[in-house]
Amino acid sequence: MSITPTYISSVHANEFLAALPANELNRLRPHLKLVYLQSQQVLCELGDTPTYVYFPITAIVSLLHISEAGETSEAAVVGNDGVVDLSLFMGAKTAPHQTIVQASGQAFQLPGHIAREEFNRGGALLGLLLHYTQALMAQMAETVGFTRHRSLQQCLCRRLEQSLERHDNNEIEMTHEMLGQLLGVRRETVSAAAFKLQQAGVIRYRRGHIAVLDRQLLADMASVDEMKRTKAPARAFQLLTA
């Protein structure tokens, strides 16, 4: 079997595949197919059985929770650091969320039965999957915390960071509408938050493109509430004048 150099190097572009020992990776190699995922493409519909496992490279994928009323919110983000859809390994017949592409790009596609076969050998793949599962759960728990305790602007900062972490440039191709779907808020609310971030010099955007200008500041704003920064001095002032 002839394998092109490009192909070989690409496999390691996904951290998960890269972490597999050589023998396991070699067993999978013949079945790995490099595919291009288009933004908004649904890899696995809510309630369906996933047929493929994807190892994103430049693509970024969302695990999107959809309520009975149709409201959406993103539970977690997967890029070249991970795998979708884990539910294929978990033994459940249906996925509890929709798996949808957020950033167009490449990914390796692996037929589900091949993945399960290797999984059932109980080798390194199993351990890696478990480890990744925990990371995913941690991410989901943090999403809960952010949703409850942080302003939308902060949620937006975090979400942009999550994209940057899985990217090699500072350009994010998303509309406010798309971000609204992920964050579970109206488009206008996203626009308002984005506007403030632009004014602060953190980002610059235009029609579906967002450029992060100051990544450090973005990270800061995600965790530090702007209001609490401005209120602290105000309180100190009261003490001085009291």
Question: Which residue ranges make up the site for its own copies (CB under 8 A)?
Answer: 63, 65-69, 71, 73-75, 86-87, 89-92, 96-97, 122, 127, 130-131, 133-138, 140-145, 147-149, 183-185, 223
For the chain, where are the E strands, in sequence order? Answer: 33-37, 42-44, 52-56, 60-66, 72-78, 98-103, 105-111, 171-172, 203-206, 209-212
The torsion defined by the Cα of 62, 101, 122 and 141, in degrees rounded to 10, comes to 0
Of 12, 29, 167, 187, which one interacts with DNA (CB under 7 A)?
187
Q: Tell whether residue 112 is a contact of DNA (CB under 7 A).
A: no
Query: What's the min distance (Å) between Cβ of 179 and DNA?
Result: 8
Closer CB to its own copies, residue 35 or residue 75?
A: 75
CA dist 92 to 62, 96, 130, Å? 19, 9, 16
Query: What's the min distance (Å) between Cβ of 42 and DNA?
Result: 17
Question: Residues 89, 51: contact at Cβ < 8 Å?
Answer: no
Which entry of its own copies, DNA, none binds 227, CB below 5 to 8 A by partner kind?
DNA
Q: Which residues bind DNA (CB under 7 A)?
A: 151-153, 155, 175-177, 184-189, 191-195, 205-208, 226-227
